[in-house]
Amino acid sequence: MEAWGTHLAQGRRRSPHTVRAYIATAARLLDHVEAADWNTLARVDGATLRTHLAARRQDGIGNVSAARELSALKAFLTFARTRAGDQQATPPRIKGPRIKKGLPRPITPDEAVNLAAGVEEDANQPWIGARDRAVLLLLYGAGLRIAEALSIKGSAVPLGETLIVTGKGSKQRVVPLLPIVRDAVSDYLAKSPWPLEADHALFRGAKGGPLSQGMVQKAVARARTVLGLPSSATPHALRHSFATHLLGAGADLRSLQELLGHASLSSTQIYTKVDAATLLDVYRSAHPREQG
């Protein structure tokens, strides 16, 4: 497990969360096959893998979790075969469950702005409200993942018209920053009781440590209830909304792919469906023939 974890973290540059999940998945397989070394693992075939996954399904995991486990196990067994000396290693051929890919649910521009304002008003301290508003505007105004926004260091200040963001797989990209986003960050820094440190997280928690995703999610949930916004109005929905609104305004997919930091264009293409779905909703709610 130590070798597998090192390979994931250093060789594949996976996130700590992914490393933990992949190690746990591999450990469950080891309990099932009782493999003592890499050579034994290298001989695990598709039938054994199917039996193991069938047992996991009986434990109650759904299609999405089963597909994720299968992907992790294929990667682990490929690694095992490489460690056993098979440099042309390929995982057992086994198809996972079919997953119906759901569409992200964007919120309107007004809802995004109101959500950021609501979070600010709901905070128990002015600096915390300014902080949370700045984070949410980064998600909606620049299309950042919440983890990306919270990983920004103090060295990024003063903010310019663009920001270098480190995303998944430690890949960097440049995103533009609107004046409203820069002003929100400046307002937070002016109110924050904590000193700005180049090597410390820009966004601080109440006790001065790095701000956690959970705290942002809780703040959004409280504001969402007060504002009467749908449950789909989550921090991650702000990133979806950023993409959907840009596409609706004429942005091309390649540019959107760069802004979002997607590794492949197929990940970005889902937003064409989102935009079409949004237009269809507008049509159905506004067209006279749909009112009868």
**Secondary structure of 197-259 in HEC code, one letter for each residue:** CCCCECCECCCCCECCHHHHHHHHHHHHHHHCCCCCCCHHHHHHHHHHHHHHCCCCHHHHHHH
The residues assigned a catalytic role are: 145, 168, 236, 239, 262, 271
**Look-up of token digits 């995303």:** 167
What is the pLDDT at residue 118? Answer: 83
DSSP class per residue in 27-85: HHHHHHH---SHHHHHT--HHHHHHHHHHHHHTT--HHHHHHHHHHHHHHHHHHHHHTT
What is the pLDDT at residue 290? Answer: 47
C-alpha–C-alpha distance, residues 234 and 219, integer Å: 10
* Cβ proximity of 89 and 43 under 8 Å: no
What is the DSSP-derived secondary structure letter of residue 263?
S
What is the pLDDT at residue 291? Answer: 45
Per-residue pLDDT of the chain (292 residues; tens, 9 = 90+): 888 888 888 877 776 777 888 899 888 888 888 777 888 888 888 888 888 888 888 888 777 677 778 888 888 888 888 888 776 656 667 776 665 555 556 677 777 878 888 888 888 888 999 999 999 888 888 888 888 899 999 999 998 888 888 877 777 888 888 888 899 999 999 999 999 999 999 999 999 999 998 888 888 888 877 677 777 778 877 877 777 766 666 666 666 666 666 666 565 666 666 565 555 665 565 555 544 4
C-alpha–C-alpha distance, residues 158 and 162, integer Å: 11
| Torsion-angle region of 3 (φ positive above 0: left; ψ -120 to 50: alpha; else: beta) | alpha
**Look-up of token digits 């105004």:** 141
C-alpha–C-alpha distance, residues 132 and 202, integer Å: 12
C-alpha–C-alpha distance, residues 53 and 70, integer Å: 8
Residue (of 135, 102, 277, 104) closest to 219 by Cα position: 135
